[in-house]
């Protein structure tokens, strides 16, 4: 079992000192990856419902620092050597996929092939409005952006003719170290699960019935002629933070999860030591799962 840390670029870890302590401590403790979150802007008085809290509101306000995930992860890459760099998630339809393909490949090459791209369609309509990006059809825009980036990574002199993007005979370099950057689709809806199976290298469900969502993703992969078992499933579990973390990890593994993510707030106090303790108590103990 692999272990990652989610919400990695938040709270005191958003800034340089906290970032470095978290990244170095996590790597030393045996964590495999760090996963960032993203919002470009915080809209005053937003009415869109945040789907991961009963209040419908994010645990942040207008003054909360939330660094750009790609720049934050680049700094992590510079102060570490092994830990993988994940976006969990990056709001893909808000980005130009041609520019993004260049940015991602650059980070991946400079880090030695450690980048993991988690993507989502977004939920905060007011943010899309502020960025001048249509909120409608963001799912279709996400699908096409994945295709665009892979076309640019797969070869030089690439051409593409889609609904939102069109180009002919262009090359973007460098290419990712391993050919492509792995893409993990985030979300908790049937559509997200189907997108993961149809297009993703992995699935990162944020909530919901985990077994049901994994089944949908795998069936979607099979329907698309892909290997359902090749999907990397990333998920968290409150049980891993409780009295029987080993049992919780075994339960997740039985459902098909191959990476468990732990919220960064678990390591706010005495960061290096709490990371080390978790590594010895949980990560080392579950190495064979």
Q: What is the largest CA-CA distance in the chain?
A: 57
The CATH code of the domain at 2-181+236-283 is 3.20.20.30
Kindly report, residue by residue over 206-230, the tens digit of the pLDDT. 899 999 999 999 999 999 999 999 9
Other C-beta atoms closer than 10 Å to the C-beta of 288 total 5
**H-helix segments, 117-239:** 125-131, 138-154, 190-199, 210-223
β-sheet bridge partners, residue 120: 91
CA distance 257 to 214: 9
Does 288 have pLDDT greater than 90? no
Kindly report, residue by residue over 164-194, the tens digit of the pLDDT. 999 999 999 999 999 999 999 999 999 999 9
CA distance 86 to 109: 14
Give the H/E segment covering residue 54: none
β-sheet bridge partners, residue 233: 203
CA distance 197 to 222: 8
Q: Name the phi and psi angles at 133, rounded to 5.
A: -110, 130
Report the chain's mean pLDDT, rounded to a whole number: 97
CA distance 229 to 215: 11
The answer to whether 121 and 114 have CB atoms below 8 angstroms apart is no
Cis link prior to 95 (omega < 30° from 0)?
Answer: no
Does 97 have pLDDT greater than 90? yes
Kindly report, residue by residue over 4-39, the tens digit of the pLDDT. 999 999 999 999 999 999 999 999 999 999 999 999
The pTM is what? 0.97
Sign of CA dihedral 110, 171, 87, 30: negative
């Amino acid at each position: 079992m692999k272990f990652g840390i989610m919400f990695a670029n938040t709270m005191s870890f958003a800034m340089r000192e906290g970032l470095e302590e978290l990244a170095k401590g996590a790597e030393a403790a045996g964590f495999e990856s760090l996963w960032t979150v993203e919002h470009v802007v915080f809209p005053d008085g937003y009415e869109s419902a945040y789907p991961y809290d009963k209040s419908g509101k994010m645990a942040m306000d207008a003054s909360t620092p939330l660094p750009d995930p790609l720049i934050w992860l680049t700094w992590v890459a510079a102060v570490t050597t092994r830990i993988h760099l994940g976006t969990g998630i990056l709001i893909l339809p808000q980005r130009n996929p041609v520019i993004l393909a260049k940015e991602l490949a650059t980070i991946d090459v400079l880090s030695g092939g450690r980048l993991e791209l988690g993507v989502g369609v977004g939920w905060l309509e007011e943010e899309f409005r502020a960025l001048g990006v249509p909120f409608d059809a963001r799912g279709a825009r996400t699908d096409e952006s994945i295709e665009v980036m892979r076309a640019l990574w797969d070869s030089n002199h690439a051409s593409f003719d889609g609904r939102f993007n069109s180009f002919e005979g262009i090359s973007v370099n460098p290419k990712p170290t391993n050919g492509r950057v792995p893409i993990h689709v985030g979300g908790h809806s049937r559509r997200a699960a189907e997108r993961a199976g149809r297009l993703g290298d992995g699935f990162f469900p944020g909530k919901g019935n985990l077994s049901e969502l994994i089944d949908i993703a795998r069936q979607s992969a099979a329907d698309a002629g892909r290997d359902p078992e090749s999907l990397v499933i990333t998920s968290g579990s409150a049980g891993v933070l409780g009295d029987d973390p080993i049992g919780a990890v075994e339960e997740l593994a039985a459902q098909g999860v191959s990476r468990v993510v732990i919220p960064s707030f678990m390591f706010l106090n005495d960061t290096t030591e709490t990371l080390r303790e978790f590594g010895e108590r949980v990560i080392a103990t579950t190495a064979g799962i």
